[in-house]
Structure 1
Amino acid sequence: MKQNQMLNGIDDHTCKVTEVICLPNSRLPRVVIVGGGFAGLALVEGLKNKDVQVVLIDRNNFHQFQPLFYQVATSGLEPDSIVFPFRKQIKGYKNVSFRLAEVKEIQASTNTVITDKGNLTYDYLVLATGTKTNFFGMEEVERNSLGMKDIRDSLNIRHMMLQNLEQAAITCDDEERDALTNFVIVGGGPAGVEMAGALAEFCKYILPKDYPEYPSSIMNIYLVEAMDELLVAMSDKASSKTLTYLENLNVKVLLKESVSNYDGRIVQTKSGKTILAKNLIWTAGVKGDFPKGIDERHVVKGNRLKTDAYLKVDGQENIYAIGDIAALISEETPKGHPQVAQAAIQQGKYLACTLMGIINDKPIGLFSYKDKGSLATVGKRKAVADLGKLKFAGYFAWLLWSVVHLLSISGFRNKLLVGFNWAVSYFSYEKSNRVIIRNFKLNTTAKTQTKDNSENHLEKDVNTKKSSIDV
């Protein structure tokens, strides 16, 4: 019977789509949370073991620690060190359920969420779906480059890098070798800066050991930034110090420059420069990623959902937005709050209290964001810190960055793994095993991401998110 099913193209292990997603029977108000990032998990933690039924929905069965994606991409850490299963996270939370599904549409008129696995109803819906890479309508760039918004992206970058380095050792064509060993990172926010620094240290310390057949100088790293400084969300001191760190690591920083096209081999800039490279990593912008069903009148620049001071989506009675997807527009925050981890976590904690206040008919306050400072690292003993009026760089900034990130990782085992890997790397510059476990090939077919016509190419890199945890 099983053989006949397989021959007919039917797989018993395929997850079936049902009309309704099964959930525990409960008379408590139901809060459905879509997305298990920093904001979504903070909300879950705030609602655990309360008199409310919580349903967490995510397309993955794990939480991803985005600030360290670049270390997975450069073979500094293994992926299982920075992902943590949702079911382990909610173990012991009697009122919380997790369902693996992707939300396709919201039907606000019937309080229904439509997913690829079935439908479910809600009393309160919270969108914490985060963002996706924004290529600003440049389809050829999108087809031929890689973003860094998912753990799979990090693994793709790792395999691309290792495969191209191996191919460079094989080829006798000097121009082809240059293309294979040149790396272009687009975007000078924390994600781009940290990626450039990690690649530069890989080039300096790992390349000579693993690839003695050619010198480390063969690997050129370019960081392209449209503004006139790096880390524009941080202080001038942090920006200038970061530039110095990168230049000392032989990173070629191109300021006031932007990419206009990339065909997989030649990077073209708006000023007319061309760079030969088969490795392009895009960290130059993000846009909101949420399911259908929200009136476009309530979507603002960056494809974010406009909310009121209670984080409720404009025009909705019981739909809320938190994290990168939310834009609380006010006189103090005309562009919304920064798309960083600390804002997402604060919003999740606030909304937990607010929802319980609404359910229990108690007074609720307005959301107020408290900026606790920002950190970014460039490499070993090289980091910058903005903590209010206190701004410093160097070893102590790097040490603080390391401690904050280590404490923020989910799971005791993951903390141990990351701490151990960092200790080994600190004393030996040796990173995790650099193995190619699957062939990587760019998807050269057009991707079907919706164009955001309200944006233009001059929009600033908003990927200051989570490539560096804020204090």
Structure 2
Amino acid sequence: MKEKQTHSITLESTCKITDEICLPDTKLPRVVIVGGGFAGLALVEKLKHKEVQVVLLDKNNFHQFQPLLYQVATSALEPDSIVFPFRKQINGYKNVFFRLAEVEEIQPDSNTILTNKGSVSYDYLVLATGTTTNFFGMDSVAENSLGMKDIRDSLNIRHMMLQNLEQAAITCDDKERDALTNFVIVGGGPAGVEMAGALAEFCKYILPKDYPEYPSSIMNIYLIEAIDELLGTMSDKASSKTLKYLEDLNVKVLLNEAVSNYDGNEVTTKSDKTILAKNLIWTAGVKGQFPNGIDEKHIVRGNRIKTDANLKVEGYENIFAIGDIAALISEERPKGHPQVAQAAIQQGKWLGDSLLKIIKNEAPKPFEYKDKGSLATVGKRKAVADLGKMKFAGYFAWLLWSIVHLMSISGFRNRLMVGFNWAVSYFTYEKSNRLIIRNFKPKSSVKNRTK
């Protein structure tokens, strides 16, 4: 009985029983970070053990390593090998608190944010909510295709692919079988290129063993890109090498082509080409996602939030934006910084140092992005790398890509799991996670049933 009373007194001394999310009382400045992606976690790491209270809010209880989502989608990795619990990440950080909640609205006048679990007050607010798939207003494409922005998308792609391959083995209708075994990837950036390469290797090495009922040539992979080259942000050498690698893997690359419609069975392009396919994966664009409350005049192209050189949201004194949603526009970068992991990590680290200076009434230095280069892989032993003036491709680029990505994954166990899976795959081309855990149901079919 005494133990229960003691526990009750402790709760009352640290939490207010209101509609607020329960947090320990503190006299330290409270920094609320919304989003635990690369930028948000980099900021947490900088502020741990400092004289601030850090509150991390996220609608998931885990960080996900997005560069390897395509490997989960193609059965190469288990989903839990590229996700890492926030509470494990911050274990031992006595000034950092995680709360599972989705932020719905910012109220700058009262320094408060509203979530689906209650309200939180802040002294400094940092938005690091990242992006979501941009279908550019094409509702039919959005309803019938899949993006690849989080672990659930990857699992949906895996289940869709395996279910359709199983159905192709059942059906006696040749046209239906073609649609079930044709795959269309839209977007020739790193995500699209890597997805196409992984699918091509699945087709070449896994399909003949698992589905001897029909030849692997029945599985056609199309990569559609709206401009005249792949990997548009990388060098011409990287683009041309990537195109060659994909064509060697029998990927049908369509450049200067754009999708105009997709009904779940047939892809239509702006030049009136049609492709029969029940599998469409959209990697062609992203747009920022963040809570309501930011004045629309501070939102720019791509639904990004415009910031000053200190990553402070224009028009606000104590609200900052980092990562993919931050648009630090300048003469040198009229479109802002690239929406990639290294930019997000650098902004998170820089803002950590900057906030500590601001709290001490010191002037922070403007953010400067240091481009460390770009990497993209196109299957085993094939990759491209742009590292400053050095441009190279092939086995060494693939080895570098593997090392960089392996060391960037959170958690020793996760790195071990991924490394082991890669080692097995290197020698055997085996993809052991070809499991249909749950039935995949397209959004369009769910919508039709609810009407």
Instruction: Give, in whole Å, the separation in 1 of the partners of 2:67 and 2:130.
Output: 14
Whether the 8 Å CA contact 1:143–1:446 is kept in 2: the answer is no
Amino acid at match of 1:299: I
Whether the 8 Å CA contact 1:18–1:117 is kept in 2: the answer is no
Deviation digits for residues 314-349 of structure 1 (CA, Å, limit 9, x no counterpart): 111100000000000111111000001000000000
**Secondary structure of 2:424's match?**
helix
| Aligned-residue offset at 1:443 | 1.2
- Say whether residues 1:148 and 2:148 are aligned partners: yes
- Say whether residues 1:293 and 2:293 are aligned partners: yes
**Secondary structure of 2:302's match?**
coil
Residue 378 of structure 1 aligns with which residue?
378
Amino acid at match of 2:23: L
| Aligned-residue offset at 1:446 | 9.5
Residue 19 of structure 1 aligns with which residue?
19
Question: Can you give the 5+ residue segments of structure 2 that lack an aligned partner in the other structure?
Answer: 1-16
Q: How does 1:274-313 map to 2 (within 5 A)?
A: 274-313=274-313
Deviation digits for residues 131-155 of structure 1 (CA, Å, limit 9, x no counterpart): 0000000000000000000100000
Residue 14 of structure 1 aligns with which residue?
none
| Aligned-residue offset at 1:360 | 1.5
Instruction: Give, in whole Å, the separation in 1 of the partners of 2:410 and 2:74.
Output: 21
Residue 441 of structure 2 aligns with which residue?
441
- Say whether residues 1:254 and 2:254 are aligned partners: yes
Q: How does 1:313-392 map to 2 (within 5 A)?
A: 313-392=313-392
The structure carrying a bigger helix percent of its residues is 2
**Secondary structure of 1:67's match?**
helix
Residue 165 of structure 1 aligns with which residue?
165
Deviation digits for residues 133-180 of structure 1 (CA, Å, limit 9, x no counterpart): 000000000000000001000000000000000000000000000000
Instruction: Give, in whole Å, the separation in 2 of the partners of 1:230 and 1:397.
Output: 17
Amino acid at match of 2:377: T
Instruction: Give, in whole Å, the separation in 2 of the partners of 1:203 and 1:406.
Output: 25
Residue 63 of structure 1 aligns with which residue?
63
| Aligned-residue offset at 1:24 | 1.1
- Say whether residues 1:84 and 2:84 are aligned partners: yes
Deviation digits for residues 383-420 of structure 1 (CA, Å, limit 9, x no counterpart): 00000000000000000000000000000000000000
Residue 42 of structure 1 aligns with which residue?
42
Residue 31 of structure 2 aligns with which residue?
31
Whether the 8 Å CA contact 1:139–1:446 is kept in 2: the answer is no
Aligned length: 431
- Structure 1 runs (4+) deviating above 6 angstroms are none
| Aligned-residue offset at 1:445 | 7.0
Residue 201 of structure 1 aligns with which residue?
201
TM-score (norm 2): 0.95
Alignment RMSD (CA, Å): 1.1
Whether the 8 Å CA contact 1:330–1:336 is kept in 2: the answer is yes
Instruction: Give, in whole Å, the separation in 2 of the partners of 1:357 and 1:301.
Output: 31
Amino acid at match of 1:321: A
Instruction: Give, in whole Å, the separation in 2 of the partners of 1:149 and 1:253.
Output: 22
Instruction: Give, in whole Å, the separation in 1 of the partners of 2:432 and 2:83.
Output: 16
**Secondary structure of 1:156's match?**
helix
Instruction: Give, in whole Å, the separation in 1 of the partners of 2:71 and 2:315.
Output: 41
Q: How does 1:101-116 map to 2 (within 5 A)?
A: 101-116=101-116
**Secondary structure of 1:199's match?**
helix
- Say whether residues 1:126 and 2:134 are aligned partners: no
Instruction: Give, in whole Å, the separation in 2 of the partners of 1:164 and 1:357.
Output: 55
| Aligned-residue offset at 1:361 | 2.0
Instruction: Give, in whole Å, the separation in 2 of the partners of 1:70 and 1:79.
Output: 11
Amino acid at match of 2:432: S
Amino acid at match of 1:197: G
Whether the 8 Å CA contact 1:128–1:325 is kept in 2: the answer is yes
| Aligned-residue offset at 1:109 | 0.4
| Aligned-residue offset at 1:18 | 6.4
Amino acid at match of 2:396: F
| Aligned-residue offset at 1:364 | 1.4
Amino acid at match of 2:244: T
Deviation digits for residues 66-117 of structure 1 (CA, Å, limit 9, x no counterpart): 0000000000000000000000000000100000000000000000010000
